[in-house]
Amino acid sequence: MITGDGDQSSLPQQVNTFHAGRLACRVRGCLRRGVGNAGGTKGGAKVAFTNKSLENLVKEIAADELDHVRFLRKALGSAAVAKPAIDLDALKIGFKNENEFIILARAFEDVGVSAYRGAAKLIQNKDYLDAAAGILATEAYHAGHLRSHANYADVTSPKLDCQDRPPTESEWVPTDDNGLALGRTPPQVLAIVRGKSADGGAFFPRGLNGNVK
């Protein structure tokens, strides 16, 4: 459980940073309560998996993501926001077959890793930082498995932005010159999952709840 230890003066900013990081990986989650008006979810479909290992991986990832949502909602308490309206078909891909699902899931998980990596320098509260580090590590496990599945299945993933490094045979792990995971700022994360307009777009057609910018 996150306590109040650490620098309290910037907690609102750190809470907003948590929300921004969470959005990248919580499109699949169900945030039914909290501040703001809860929105519905449209799009998506059940994927018929033929690769049992991939199916088991996806189920485990889904369970982890739901655990993250529950943990963060409990940790944020009254600062937690309600689930915004979500459009799972924003990229017009992801649910026809296994390969499409790998493309979409890989995108979510890589953005999730970069979101928490980029947020690290903004989080001064040690308890928040510890929680973010734990989530980042889990997201990195997820992303690594999905990137491997993409290469094994010879799936070509489109780039999400100029920073994205989709999996290839020559780059299984996207790192910088120091071997560190790539990071994105909250605005860069939002540009992918919501678009540039605060009014909404992409996966969040009606915008976001809370003071996430």
Does 113 fall in a domain? yes
Could you tell me if residue 60 is inside a domain? yes
In this prediction, residue 3 has a pLDDT band, given cuts at 50, 70 and 90, of: very low
The more confidently predicted of residues 112 and 24 is 112
Which of 169, 41, 45, 60 shows the shortest CA–CA distance to 109? 60
Domain count, the chain: 1
- Domain extent for 32: 11-193
Query: How large a percentage of the chain has pLDDT more than 70?
Result: 80
Q: What gap in Å lies between CA 76 and CA 27, rounded to an integer?
A: 18
Q: Is residue 199 part of a domain?
A: no
Say if 5 falls within a structural domain. no
2 lies in some domain: no
Residue 85 confidence (pLDDT): 85
pLDDT at res. 20: 52
Asked if residue 35 belongs to a domain, the reply is yes
**Is position 213 within any domain?**
no
- Compute the residue count for the chain: 213
- Residue from 29, 50, 47 nearest 38 by CA: 29
- Domain membership flag for residue 61: yes
Long-range contacts of 172-180 (CB under 8 A, 24+ apart): 172/147, 172/148, 173/144, 173/147, 174/110, 180/117
Q: Which CATH number belongs to the domain containing residue 131 in this structure?
A: 1.20.1260.10
Report which of 160, 129, 153, 191 is spatially closest to residue 57, judged by C-alpha positions. Answer: 153
For the stretch 187-197, pLDDT in tens is 899 899 888 88
Helix (H, G, I), strand (E, B) or coil at 55: helix
Tens of pLDDT, residues 127-181: 888 988 999 999 999 999 999 999 999 999 999 999 999 999 999 999 999 999 9
> 3-state DSSP call for residue 34?
coil
